[in-house]
Amino acid sequence: MKENIELARNREFGDIISDTFVLIRQNFTPLLKAIVVICGLFLLTDIVISAFVAVNREDASIQTLAGFSKAVLGFIYAILLVLTTQAYFILYKEKSNTRPEVIEVWGYVKYYFFRVFFTEILLIIGIFIGAFLCFLPCVYLGVVFSLVLPVMMVENGNIEYSIRKAFKIIKGNWWFTFGIILLVSVITAVLMLVLLIPVGIVYGVAGWLTGKNVDEIAGVFFAVDLNLCKLLWIIPNIALILVYFALTEEKEGTSLIDRINSFGKSSPGTDQISSEQY
Domain boundaries, the chain: 27-255
Residue of 55 and 108 predicted with greater confidence: 108
Bigger pLDDT: 146 or 52?
Answer: 146
Q: Is the pLDDT of residue 186 over 90?
A: yes
Average pLDDT, the chain: 80
Residue 93: C-alpha distances to residues 74, 86, 128, 230 (Å): 29, 11, 34, 25
- Picking from 176, 245, 246, 234, the residue whose alpha carbon sits closest to that of residue 21 is 234
Query: What would the mean pLDDT of 170-194 be, rounded to a whole number?
Result: 91
- Mean per-residue pLDDT, 168-176: 91
pLDDT at 167: 93
- Helix (H) / strand (E) containing 256: helix 254-262
Q: List, as own/partner pairs, every contact residues 269-273 make where C-beta atoms lie below 8 angstroms and the sequence separation is at least 24, other chains included.
A: 270/95, 270/96, 270/98, 271/95, 272/94, 273/91, 273/94, 273/95
